[in-house]
Structure 1
Amino acid sequence: MTTNTPEILSLFKEQLNNQVASIVAAQSFETQGYGFAYWYLRNIGGMTDIEAKDQICDGGGDLGIDAIEIVDEKVVFYQFKNPKSIEKSIEAGEIDKMISGLELILSRKHASIANPELLSRLEEIYAFTPAGYEIVVAVSSLAEIPSDAEAKLDSFCQRNSGVAKDLFRWEFHNLENIHNRFYSANLPTLEATLDIALSRMPYMTKVGDHETYIFDLSGEYLAKLYDEYGEGILQQNVRMFEGDKGTNLAIAKTASSVEESKDFFHFNNGISIICDSATHKPFNNELSLERPQVVNGGQTMRILHRCYTQRSLEKGVHAVVRVITTGKDKQFASNVAVNLNNQTRVDNTFLRSNDPRIVQLLHSLSTLGYFLERRAGEIDAMLPEELQDLENKFGSPFSNHVIPLKDGMQAYVATYYGDPQLAKKDPAKIFTDDGGSFSKILQSDLTAEKFRDAYRLSRLVSAQVDQFKRLKRKRYSDESERRNTYIKEFGAFVGSGFPELDLAVPQISIFGMALLFEKNKVLGGGNLKEFVDKVSADPTEIWRGFIELIAVRSALGIEQSWPTLLKSGTFYRDAVAHLRAGWA
Structure 2
Amino acid sequence: MATKFDIDLLDRHLRQVQAEFDCQRHLSLLHCILRDEFGLTDEQIVEALTDGGNDRGIDAIHINRSTDPVIVNIFQTKQYQSKIAEKNFPSNEIDKILSYIHDFLNQSDAFLDSLNPALRDISVELAELFNHGRPLIRIFFCSNGTPLLPEQRLRLESSLKGYSYISTEEFHFDNLLDLVLAPQNANRERFLKASSNQIFSRSDGDVKGIIASVSASEIVKLIANAKDPSRADRALFNENIRVFLGIKNPVNKNILQSALSEDRFVFWYLNNGITIVCEEATYPQGYAHPAIRMIAPQIVNGAQTSHALLEAHQRDPSLINDVSVLVRIYETKRSDISQLVAIATNSQTRIYNRDLMSNDKAQIRIQKALELRGLYYERKRREYEDQPRERRIDALKFGQIVLAYTLRMPERARRDSDEIFSAYYDDIFTNIRDLDEIVSAWQCLREIEANHELVIAKRRRHTTNRAMRALAYANYHVLFLVSVLAQHRGINISDPGTRKTLIEVGINIVKEHIESDERGLYEIFRDPKTKERLIQLAERQDQLPEDFQLSLPLKIDSGLF
Q: TM-score, normalised by structure 2?
A: 0.70
Are 1:22 and 2:25 matched, yes or no?
no
8 Å contact 1:23–1:35 — kept in the other structure? no
Quote the offset at 1:183 in angstroms. Answer: 5.3
* Contact 2:268/2:325 (8 A) holds in 1: yes
Q: Where do residues 229-378 of structure 1 align in structure 2 (5 Å cutoff)?
A: 238-239=240-241, 272-274=275-277, 295-296=300-301, 321-324=327-330, 328=334, 330=336, 333-341=338-346, 348-376=353-381, 378=383
Aligned counterparts of 1:225 and 1:151: Cα–Cα separation in 2: 30
- CA distance in 1 between counterparts of 2:451 and 2:344 reads 40
Distance 1:294 1:567, change over 3 A: closer
Does structure 1 retain, via aligned residues, the 8 Å contact 2:376–2:392? yes
Counterpart in 1 of 2:414? 424
Specify the code of the residue in structure 1 equivalent to 2:52: G
Task: Provide the rounded CA distance (Å) in 2 between the counterparts of 1:507 and 1:175.
Answer: 33
> Aligned residue for 1:514?
480
Structure 2 match to 1:124: 125
Moved more, 340-349 or 129-138: 340-349
Equivalent residues of 2:362, 2:430 under 8 A apart: no
Q: For the structure 1 residues 38 and 515, does the alpha-carbon distance in structure 2 shift closer, same or farther, using more than 3 Å as the test?
A: farther
Structure 2 residue 49 is the aligned partner of structure 1 residue 38: no
C-alpha distance in 1, partners of 2:239/2:468?
A: 44
Deviation at 1:326, TM superposition (A): 7.6
The equivalent of 1:82 in structure 2 is 79
The DSSP-based 3-state class of the residue aligned with 2:101 is: helix
Taking the aligned partners of 1:325 and 1:513, their CA distance within structure 2 comes to 45
Deviation at 1:50, TM superposition (A): 2.0
Aligned to 1:96: 95
Cα shift at 1:213 = 4.5
Distance in 2 separating the partners of 1:182 and 1:352 = 25
Please give the per-residue CA displacement for 1:363-382, whole angstroms capped at 9, x wherever unaligned.
Answer: 333222222334445556xx
Residue aligned with 1:90, SS: coil
Report deviation, 1:245. Answer: 8.5
For residue 94 of structure 2, what is the amino acid of its counterpart?
Answer: I
Change beyond 3 A, Cα 1:11–1:362: farther
Aligned-partner Cα distance in 1 for 2:390–2:122: 31
The letter for the 2-side match of 1:58 is D
Contact 2:283/2:291 (8 A) holds in 1:
yes
1:257 maps to which residue?
Answer: none
For the pair 1:140 / 2:143, whether they are aligned, the reply is yes
Scaled by the length of structure 1, what TM-score is found? 0.68
Asked if the contact 1:86–1:140 (Cα under 8 Å) also holds between the matched residues in 2, the reply is no
Q: Describe the superposition over 1:443-464 as per-residue Cα deviations: whole angstroms up to 9, x where unpaired.
A: 4427654554333322211111
Tell me the residue number matched to 1:493. none
For 1:495, the equivalent position in structure 2 comes to none
Which residue in the other structure is 1:485 paired with? none
Q: Tell me the distance in 2 between the aligned counterparts of 1:356 and 1:118.
A: 42
Match runs of 1:417-566 below 5 Å = 417-433=407-423, 437-445=424-432, 449=436, 451-473=438-460, 500-525=466-491, 527-528=492-493, 530-531=494-495, 533-534=496-497, 539-552=500-513, 558-566=517-525
Shift of 1:276: 9.2
Instruction: Give the C-alpha shift of residue 103 in structure 1.
Output: 1.9
Q: Partners of 2:269 and 2:88 in 1: how far apart?
A: 41
C-alpha distance in 1, partners of 2:234/2:140? 30
Whether the aligned pair in 1 keeps the contact of 2:13 and 2:180 (CA below 8 Å) is no
* Matched residue, 2:230: none
CA shift, 1:148, in A, is: 4.3
Shift in CA distance, 457/8, structure 1 to aligned 2, threshold 3 Å? farther
Question: Is the contact made by 1:237 and 1:295 (CA closer than 8 Å) also made in structure 2?
Answer: no
- The 1:83–1:244 alpha-carbon spacing in structure 2 relative to 1, beyond 3 Å, is farther
In the TM superposition, what whole-angstrom CA distance separates every residue of 1:514-537 from its partner, at most 9, and x where no partner exists?
222222222243x34x14x336xx
CA contact (8 A) 1:237 1:296 kept: no
Q: Which residue of 1 aligns with 2:112?
A: 111
Judged with a 3 Å threshold, the aligned counterparts in structure 2 of structure 1 residues 155 and 277 are, in CA distance, closer, same or farther, namely closer
Deviation string, structure 1 residues 468-526 (Cα, Å, up to 9, x no partner) = 333454697xxxxx8xxxxxxxxxxxxxxxx653342333222222222222222243x
Aligned counterpart for 1:66 among listed residues 59, 65, 81: 59
Q: 1:20 touches 1:32 (CA, 8 Å); kept in 2?
A: no
Partners of 1:266 and 1:182 in 2: CA distance? 39
Letter in 2 for 1:508: A
Amino acid at match of 2:342: A
Aligned twin of 2:555: none
CA shift, 1:189, in A, is: 7.4
% of aligned pairs identical?
Answer: 20
Aligned partners of 1:12, 1:374: CA distance in 2, in Å? 28
Please tell me whether residue 407 in structure 1 is matched to residue 403 in structure 2.
no
Q: What is the rounded CA distance, in whole Å, between the counterparts of 1:262 and 1:564 in structure 2? A: 48
Q: 1:150 aligns with which of 141, 150, 153?
A: 153
CA–CA distance in 1 between the matches of 2:155 and 2:234? 41
CA gap of 1:359–1:350, structure 2 versus 1, over 3 A, is: same
Alpha-carbon distance in 2 for matches of 1:522, 1:66: 43
CA RMSD of aligned residues (A): 5.3
Distance 1:175 1:278, change over 3 A: closer
Could you tell which deviates more after superposition, 53-62 or 510-519?
510-519
Partner of 1:569: 528
- Pick from 157, 172, 175 the counterpart of residue 174 of structure 1: 172
Cα distance change on mapping 1:6 and 1:100 into 2, 3 Å? same
1:53 to 46, 51, 58: 46
Q: 1:112 to 1:233 in 2, by over 3 A?
A: closer
Structure 1 contact 275–292 (Cα < 8 Å) conserved: yes
Compared with structure 1, are the counterparts of its residues 137 and 17 closer, same or farther at alpha carbon in structure 2 (3 Å cutoff)?
Answer: same
Structure 1 segments unaligned to the other structure (5+ residues): 255-260, 381-386, 388-396, 477-481, 483-498
The offset of 1:574, in angstroms, is 2.8
Name the amino acid aligned to 1:111.
L
